[in-house]
Structure 1
């Protein structure tokens, strides 16, 4: 918004209309800016719903992402995802990225309709950056969780037609009194309801039941970062063992889970060399113990 030399906001066409209100530049929410000025660009509005049956059966035309796991450790939180996307009974892709850094202290993983979900998370990252530029401060973690909740709710129309998006948000809470317990996990349902996961771990997607069952046995409160990452990859391995839509470590193609770790130093993508090393170790240990299917 421009200002004249007296510091008064300029107007449009001499009609007394504030340029900020005219073009939405004063809005701290980029999503609201799109909703007002270009609603067709919102993820849920870009889907051609005429191709989707009222019962959602045709939703299988779109690839779906599958399993995401997250767990806290002493001083942070880690989130990891498998790489497979399915389209009905077919494997649509073997190397989809499902875990994204959304700002300096948060990350999100996606399950559900892959195209819509990836667009939504990218828009969420822009939303957080836009807020910081307009307001001059970062949103609190609760503020980030609420913003993502409203965005998921905005996709409700598409979700009712079978194109659901179920994100999993993690972050380091800068306002936490105890930095050792500052890692947080928030899950969502398809209508935008948000739920704080206080058990220290959670999973979403088609293999989430098996991943959570695995984490129930593996998870140790207060574990270090390396142990947490190993637990996440092992949970994804267990999910892939029972869920055909979840991809396990592919040693032949060198495709391994992706992960993000968040501590007081910020959010970082875990190097693929590290996840590959851990995935190979999990497979080797299971083979040695005779726990791989024969």
Structure 2
């Protein structure tokens, strides 16, 4: 005799018994092996991380009425370019975005889980989680990956979104322990971040318009690619441009390819030496 769909011991009964606004907490109770930081930890020799693709440089900044996040398209595996097409910036929900640097596979798993986490909270509670709450939830996920990070498989994200209460864009950085830090004005993570930050310090200004902020982000990624082999700058030959999202009161928006192409080509042209008079 088949047990009714909602009977004792059914998956529906388990979900009802374990009901929580946090999807990751539900997974931790019912299927902890599915969490990104829980797989294969004991299979790695101490201090020996496998050769896996790593995502590199992410930049983010505030602008008038919102916040912007941009990532290059290159992933590396040691001294090899593993991918020229990887995307490292994603919408977390309608009013926030997430950028990833570090071990690409784990970072993508954490990104997907974070997206489900926010959607699950909205369905259970009937409202959006606050920006502070989102930032805290992401920190907890990064903390759960600490055993893998200690073996060289670290994930370092940037998180940004529009704060509906304050009516401003806000930006958060993290360390491998899940520590959360609110950044003012702008920030960058990844292998090329030190060079990108130098560009941001020179080019960023308070209350930039959105198109000006996009230009600053591309300039910063160009500078990072110029000095960091793991960062890929705008590629006019292959027509590959950074992935850039902006978030304001209207929500998250991915900057269209045609706009990125025009701005990137203008940046490249402005830096091209065509010859000088003696």
Q: TM-score, normalised by structure 1?
A: 0.87
Equivalent residue number for residue 141 of structure 1: 131
Correspondence 1:1-294 to 2 at 5 A: 12=8, 19=13, 23-24=17-18, 26-47=19-40, 49-50=42-43, 52-56=44-48, 58-59=49-50, 61-176=51-166, 179=167, 182-198=168-184, 200-288=185-273
Return the alpha-carbon distance in structure 2 between the equivalents of residues 219 and 142 of structure 1.
25
In the aligned structure 2, how far is the partner of 1:255 from the partner of 1:233?
A: 12
Q: Deviations over 1:271-293 (max 9, x none)?
A: 12211211111100111587xxx
Unaligned runs of 5+ in 1: 1-9
Deviation at 1:88, TM superposition (A): 0.6
> Would the alpha carbon gap of residues 289 and 184 (structure 1) be closer, same or farther in structure 2, given more than 3 Å must change?
farther
Counterpart residue number, 2:3: none
1:56-90 CA distance string (max 9 Å, x none): 3x33x110000000000010011000000000111
Superposed structure 1 runs of 4+ greater than 2 Å apart: 10-13, 18-24, 46-49
**Residues 252 and 47 of structure 1: is their aligned pair in 2 closer, same or farther, counting only changes over 3 Å?**
farther
CA shift digits 1:219-258 (9 cap, x unpaired): 0111100000110011000000000000011111111100
Q: Distance in 2 between matches of 1:86 and 1:48?
A: 22
Alignment partner of 2:232: what SS? Answer: coil
CA distance in 2, matches of 1:47, 1:80: 31
- Checking the alignment, whether the CA contact within 8 Å between 2:131 and 2:162 is kept in structure 1 is yes
- Deviates further, 188-197 or 280-289: 280-289
* Equivalent residue, structure 2, for 1:5: none
Q: CA deviation at 1:12?
A: 2.8
Contact 1:49–1:158 (CA<8 Å) still a contact in 2?
no
Matched residue SS, 2:170: strand
Question: What's the secondary structure of 2:62's corresponding residue?
Answer: strand
Q: Is the 8 A contact 2:66 2:246 kept in 1?
A: yes
Q: Distance in 2 between matches of 1:12 and 1:77?
A: 48
Kindly report the root-mean-square deviation, in angstroms, between the aligned alpha carbons of the 2 structures.
1.7
Distance verdict in 2 for CA 1:37–1:238, change over 3 Å: same
Deviations 1:122-170 (A, max 9, x none): 1101000000000111110000000000000000011011000001000
SS at match of 1:191: coil
Residues 288 and 151 of structure 1: CA distance in aligned 2, closer, same or farther (over 3 Å): same
Deviation at 1:270, TM superposition (A): 1.1
